[in-house]
Amino acid sequence: MRVVDFDYELPEEKIAKYPPLERGSTRLLVLDRHSGAIEHAGYAGLDSFLKAGDLLVLNNTRVVRARLFASRPSGGRIELMLLEKHQDEQSLVLYRGKLKKGDRLIAHDRELLVAEIVDQGIARISLSGAGSLRDLFDHFGGVPIPPYLKRDAEEVDQERYQTVFAEFPGSVAAPTASLNMTQELFGKLHCKGVDIVTLALHVGLGTFLPIRVDSFEEHVMHREFYSIPLQTAEKIRRTKISGGRVVAVGTTVTRAIEHAAERIMTFSGSVGDEALTGEADIFIYPGYQFRLIDLLLTNFHAPRSTVLMLTAALAGPGNLRHAYNQALEMGYSFLSYGDSMLII
């Protein structure tokens, strides 16, 4: 298969520009990857498709205020977009405008120094004086909603472009498959006997960018830092050994678990260990053999995106194509604030 095989026409009106009025009220298309059968349901009824012994895995990263405008001392505005956190470092930015090493910028009376031009449009910056770069963005930055929404962030995005269980700051894009999770749904899942665990993968903008090469082999996958608590890793291992199903909520959870699959299944922890960490650069597309993930809850993704290809790898390209065509015909809403799909 080629990258072009994952292109499709997505009408502008099918893109959800705002979150639903009520969290969790979106639709859910359920695709049986073995038979190709499709069922239409609601996100709030996810528990109906899971069973006792299933393990639901969530990404509890927190989206930071990543968009900030700075100016040159001589005048002229530069837009900065903070990139995702890696280990303890979060100093890389995407920038719009012209910058060179050594340039100084002013943002809300604070001075920024361009320490390095890392790549075209990407720089490493530091903050002069006391305080941290993250604090500056947290106080004065904006919510980094996806550019395809074609609007500025609004008050509703402060709450709704964040999961209800977000904990560890570091992402510049939301783990969108779980934006519609609610405490009520968690309660129903627990009553059903579904166990719920978390990990953290700091989501980067590269997750959602279209691939601009013709073959999979030419694409260089971005890296995203993850941390899987030992309790989560152990529950995944026990679930697989006992014949239960691991349910990934989102492609970010999938990449983290599949990247760490061997360590999860063979790990023997010691007292000082706290988590399995790594940099997920795994590119999953059709032909990939999943090692730990059995079910996937995810959004409807953009054409030619790596997350679309990951979804096709689990669902099967033909099944996914049929499901997307049906979703478009039946008025499902697509992308981050839209409806969802459960692949079983």
278-326, pLDDT tens digit by residue?
999 888 999 999 999 999 999 999 998 999 999 999 999 999 999 999 9
Q: Cα–Cα distance between 153 and 272 in angstroms, integer?
A: 42
Q: What is the mean pLDDT of the chain?
A: 90
User: Number of H helices and number of E strands within the chain?
Assistant: 8, 17
CB atoms within 10 A of CB 72: 15
pLDDT tens string 238-266? 999 999 999 999 999 999 999 999 999 98
Residue ranges in 43-112 assigned as alpha helix (H) = none
What is the model's pLDDT at position 271? 44
pTM value is 0.90
User: Is beta strand 224-229 parallel, antiparallel or unpaired with respect to 275-280?
Assistant: antiparallel
pLDDT score recorded for residue 216: 66
Total Cβ atoms within 10 A of residue 97: 14
CB 60 within 8 A of CB 202: no
Please check the confidence at residue 136 and state whether its pLDDT lies above 90: no
Architecture of domain 67-142 in this structure: Beta Barrel (2.40)
Asked if 228 and 55 touch (Cβ cutoff 8 Å), the reply is no
Options 3.40.50.300, 3.40.50.720, 3.40.630.30, 3.40.1780.10; CATH for 3-63+157-343 is 3.40.1780.10
b/e sequence 163-191, b meaning 16+ C-beta within 10 Å:
beebebbbbbbbbbbbbbbeeebbebbee
Domains of the chain, residue spans: 3-63+157-343, 67-142
More confident residue, 185 or 148: 185
Distance CA 7, CA 107 (A): 40
Pairing, β 104-107 against β 110-119? antiparallel
- Greater confidence (76 vs 42) lies with 42
Give the pLDDT confidence of 62-111 residue by residue, as tens digits: 999 988 898 888 778 888 888 877 776 667 888 888 888 888 988 888 88
Distances (CA, A) of 62 to 1, 90, 172, 234, 339: 35, 14, 8, 24, 21
The residues near 154 (Cβ < 8 Å, ≥ 6 apart) are: none
Helix (H, G, I), strand (E, B) or coil at 122: strand
pLDDT tens column, 186-243: 999 999 999 999 999 999 866 655 666 666 666 667 788 999 999 999 999 999 999 9
